Amino acid sequence: MAIVWRDQMSVGIKEIDDDHRRLVSILNDFEAAGLRGAGAVDEGSLRTILVKLRRYTQEHFEREERLQEARHYQGYEENKEQHEWLLYRLDELVERYHAGQLGEGRAATAELSVFLKSWLIDHIIKIDLKMKGKMG
Ligand SMILES: [Fe+2]
């Protein structure tokens, strides 16, 4: 099931919320591409979406860290560490997926999709929402 953006997911800073919406949309694209049609999954487009997700995640983390630093956010160091861990976890999941360790075809795509959704929700809900009202 696609992630639906909710107001409760908003950090209240436009650049960050826009990035998060974009990440949600990339993940939804991944899921849709993996489940589309009745035949074999289109490995090529899934791969392209994963590359895009990796690139955009890195850009987003950098943007978020720059903003936090500029606004002297207290949780900056903690957040930076969590970003490193999240990128590591993302790479690990995608690597396992490509290595066939999450299964084959649609089942693997569905499995990765579930992992990625909780990965993103962990980032937005558990970590970034702490910024709400503290980035003045
Ligand atoms: Fe974020």
Give 23 Cα–ligand 1 centroid separation in angstroms. 9
Q: What is the pLDDT of residue 56?
A: 97
Task: Map out the domains of the chain as residue ranges.
Answer: 14-131
40: left (phi over 0), alpha (psi -120 to 50) or beta: beta
If DSSP codes are grouped into helix, strand and coil, which group holds residue 3?
Answer: coil
Q: What is the pLDDT of residue 135?
A: 84
Contacts 24+ apart (CB under 8 A), 89-95: 89/119, 90/53, 90/54, 90/57, 90/116, 90/119, 91/54, 93/119, 94/50, 94/54
Averaged pLDDT in 10-residue chunks for the chain of 136 residues = 91 94 95 81 90 96 96 93 94 94 89 92 87 86
Instruction: Say how far apart CA 136 and CA 117 lie, in whole Å.
Output: 29
Give 12 Cα–ligand 1 centroid separation in angstroms. 12
Instruction: Say how far apart CA 87 and CA 76 lie, in whole Å.
Output: 17
Asked whether the CA dihedral 93, 95, 100, 106 is positive or negative, the reply is positive
Give 21 Cα–ligand 1 centroid separation in angstroms. 10
Q: What is the pLDDT of residue 105?
A: 85
Q: What is the pLDDT of residue 118?
A: 92
Q: What is the pLDDT of residue 40?
A: 74
CATH class assigned to 14-131 = mainly alpha
| Neighbouring residues of 58: CB distance < 8 A, sequence distance ≥ 6 | 87
Q: What is the pLDDT of residue 106?
A: 87
Give 122 Cα–ligand 1 centroid separation in angstroms. 10
Give 65 Cα–ligand 1 centroid separation in angstroms. 9
Give 123 Cα–ligand 1 centroid separation in angstroms. 6
Contact 128, 16 (CB under 8 A): yes
Give 9 Cα–ligand 1 centroid separation in angstroms. 11
Give 64 Cα–ligand 1 centroid separation in angstroms. 6
Structure tokens at 3: 């992630």
Q: What is the pTM of this model?
A: 0.92
